[in-house]
């Protein structure tokens, strides 16, 4: 039987808690890292989860994709494991973005940017 609304809400709360912990660690370790968020269809979490790591500038994002990618995947894996979510971090579900790119392309509207670029279904 698929999980009910209460169970899905519990999973979402736990995921938010563990990703918040990963975010706080990353702020102290990764240059230019600002915040993170996630998108998902909770009823199909393994197939739709995206964790988006947001950096201040495009240069910070580019540097992190080279120098901090392994650490970001590690922090994501720890958060998912602590939330009891059986998803292995990969390029499909861990994304990099920047405040600078959102400002340029979507006038700083993260809701619109996330809906267009980091959709929960499809890729």
Half-sphere exposure of 15 (CA within 13 A, CB side): 22
Backbone φ and ψ for 92, nearest 5 degrees, come out as -70, -35
Give the pLDDT score at 1: 62
- Which residue stretches of the chain have pLDDT < 70? 1-2, 118-123
Give the pLDDT score at 5: 85
Q: Report which of 93, 27, 92 is spatially closest to residue 64, judged by C-alpha positions.
A: 27
Give the pLDDT score at 96: 97
Q: What is the pTM of this model?
A: 0.91
Domains and CATH numbers, the chain: 5-117 (3.30.300)
Give the pLDDT score at 119: 63
């Amino acid at each position: 039987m698929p999980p009910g609304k209460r169970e899905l809400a519990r999973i979402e709360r736990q995921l938010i808690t563990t990703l918040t912990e990963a975010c706080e660690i990353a702020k102290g370790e990764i240059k230019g890292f600002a915040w993170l968020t996630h998108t998902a269809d909770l009823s199909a979490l393994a197939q739709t989860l995206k964790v988006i790591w947001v950096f201040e500038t495009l240069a910070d994002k580019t540097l992190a994709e080279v120098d901090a990618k392994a650490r970001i995947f590690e922090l994501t894996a720890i958060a998912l494991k602590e939330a009891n979510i059986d998803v292995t971090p990969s390029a499909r579900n861990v994304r990099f973005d920047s405040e600078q790119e959102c400002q340029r392309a979507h006038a700083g509207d993260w809701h619109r940017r996330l809906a267009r670029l980091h959709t929960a279904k499809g890729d």
